[in-house]
Amino acid sequence: MARTYSLEQVLGLKRQLEDQRKLQLAQAEQARQEQVERLDLMLRLMEDQCDAKVSPDMIEQRGQFFFSHLTRIQDARKTLQSAIDLRDVAQAHLVQASVNRKKFEVHKESTMAVARQAEQAIEQSLLDESAIQVYLRQAR
């Protein structure tokens, strides 16, 4: 059986439906407005960051930083090159010292060989002299 509603009930339901729609529209509008405000805030922050990054003061500071960094790198390269040059000189001195030591060892060995030969010659001459004296004694 079909139910019948009074005009007041129908109008009340219609008002409730309209109120719900108005409330939904108001909530949607509020959400949209909040989103617009968040986007505006993000946009302002990004603009501020961009302005700060391209400001003459910031550009000057970055230029000074990079110039200072470049100067330190150049100084470090000069120091490194000086150390390399000193190492090369020290290495040349070590090579020369090694060559001189080898020359000294060869000279020492040759001097010792000459001394041994001289000793042997003296010993031989003493033996020869002794043999001559023995021969002369026997010949007399």
Mean model confidence pLDDT for the chain: 93
What residues contact residue 100 under an 8 Å CB cut-off, 6+ apart? none
State yes or no: pLDDT of 3 exceeds 70. yes
What residues contact residue 58 under an 8 Å CB cut-off, 6+ apart? 52
Residue 1: helix, strand or coil by DSSP?
coil
Residue with tokens 């000294």: 104
Amino acid code (one letter) for 5:
Y
Amino acid code (one letter) for 99:
V
Domain edges within the chain: 1-54, 73-140
- Cα separation of 101 and 140, whole Å? 57
Global pTM value: 0.47
State yes or no: pLDDT of 140 exceeds 80. no
Q: What is the mean pLDDT of residues 9-36?
A: 95
State yes or no: pLDDT of 87 exceeds 80. yes
In tens, the pLDDT along 42-66 reads 999 999 888 888 888 888 998 999 9
Residue with tokens 């302005």: 51
State yes or no: pLDDT of 5 exceeds 80. no
